[in-house]
Amino acid sequence: MENNGQKLAWWHWHKHLYNWVIHWADTRFGVLALILLSITEPVCVPIPADVLVIGLCLGKPKNGIKYGLTCSFFSVLGGTIAFSLGLAIGPERVVHFFEQLSFGPIHLGTKAQQALELYQKYDFWAIAISALTPVPYMLFSWLGGMAEVSLAKFVGISIVFRTIRFGSEGLLFYLLGEKARRLIEKYFNTATIIVIILLALIVLIMKKAGHLFTG
C-alpha cells in the first residue's frame, strides 16, 4: 500500500484502512461503499464517512447533495444500531464491568455511573456535538444506549446534525466543485464551533423566553 508515492508499513493499519476506504470512490461501487461505511462507522469503523463523501463529490460534484443526504440517512441508521446495542448492554453491566477493574480506593464503577448520569443530563449536547463535529459519533452512539436516553431524541437530534454535517459538504461541492474541498479542509472545525455556539445561544434565548411567558 502506498501513500503519496511512499510505501506504508503493514502495522500502519489505520492508513491502510483509510486508503482502502477512499479507493472505492474511483469504482462503480462507490455509492454502495458509502452506504456500508455510513452504517458501520457509528458501530465499529474508525474511519469518518466524510472521506468517501468528499472522494465521491470530487468525481461528480453535481451529485454532491445526493451523496451527502445518503451518508446522513445511513449514518443515523448505523448510530441507531450502535445505540440499540448499547441499550442491550445497559448501564448496570457497564457499571459492574468497571467496578471489577477498580483497585484500591479508586472505584471505577462509581466513575462510570457518574459518566452515564452526565450523559443523561446533557444528552442533547452530547448527541449534537458528536453528530456534527469530529468528536467520535460511534462512542456517543454506544454511550447513548448505555445511558438509556430517549431513542426518539437520539434519532431526531442525529438526523438534524448529521444532515447539517454531510449535507453541507455535499452542497458545497454542488455549488463550488473542487474548490469546496479546500474550504472544508480549512474551515470545517471553525464552522462547527460557530454552529455549536449559535445553537447554545438559541437554546438560551428560548429558555429565557419560556420563563418570560410562564413567569
Mean pLDDT score, 43-69: 91
Q: Is pLDDT above 50 for 11?
A: no
- Asked if residue 124 is part of any domain, the answer here is yes
Residue 112 lies in a domain: yes
The whole-angstrom separation of Cα 27 and Cα 69 is 20
User: Which residues neighbour 76 within 8 Å (Cβ) at sequence distance 6 or greater?
Assistant: 155, 158, 159, 162
DSSP state of 6: E
Q: Is residue 147 part of a domain?
A: yes
Grid cell, residue 43, equals 458501530
Q: Which of 57-61, 94-98, 106-110 has the lowest mean pLDDT?
A: 106-110
Per the domain annotation, does 195 fall within a domain?
A: no
| Residue 214 pLDDT | 45
Better-predicted residue by pLDDT, 179 or 67 = 67
**Is residue 203 one of the residues assigned to a domain?**
no
The DSSP bridge partners found for residue 103 are: 106
Residue 84, burial from CB neighbour count under 10 angstroms (0-12, 13-18, 19+): middle
Pairwise CA distance, residues 45 & 25, whole Å: 17
- Reply yes or no on whether the pLDDT at 188 is more than 90: no
DSSP SS3 for 30: helix
Specify the pLDDT at position 65.
Answer: 95
Task: Please give the Cα distance from 147 to 9 (Å, whole number).
Answer: 39
Are the beta carbons of 84 and 200 closer than 8 angstroms? no
What pLDDT digit, counting tens, does each position of 134-182 carry?
Answer: 788 999 999 999 999 999 999 999 999 999 999 999 999 999 888 888 8
The DSSP code for 149 is -
Whether the predicted pLDDT of 203 surpasses 70: no
> E strands, the chain, where?
2-3, 6-7
The pLDDT assigned to 1 comes to: 40
Domain that holds residue 158: 2-189
Model-level pTM? 0.80
Instruction: Tell whether 37 is covered by a domain.
Output: yes
Whether residue 85 is predicted with pLDDT greater than 50 in this model: the reply is yes
pLDDT score, position 185: 75
The pLDDT value recorded for residue 101 is: 77
Read off the pLDDT band of 109 (50, 70, 90).
confident
DSSP state of 26: G
Please state, in angstroms and rounded to a whole number, the distance separating the CA atoms of residues 146 and 48. Answer: 22
Of 100-114, 119-133, 147-161, the least confident: 100-114
| Domain count of the fold of the chain | 1
Looking at every residue in the chain, the average pLDDT score rounds to 84
Q: Of the segments 70-79, 87-96, 179-188, 206-215, which one has the largest average pLDDT value?
A: 70-79
In a domain, 129, yes or no: yes
Mean pLDDT confidence for 97-119: 82
Quick one: what percent of the chain has pLDDT higher than 70? 83
Mapping DSSP to helix (H, G, I), strand (E, B) and coil, where does residue 29 land? coil
In this structure, is residue 211 part of a structural domain? Answer: no
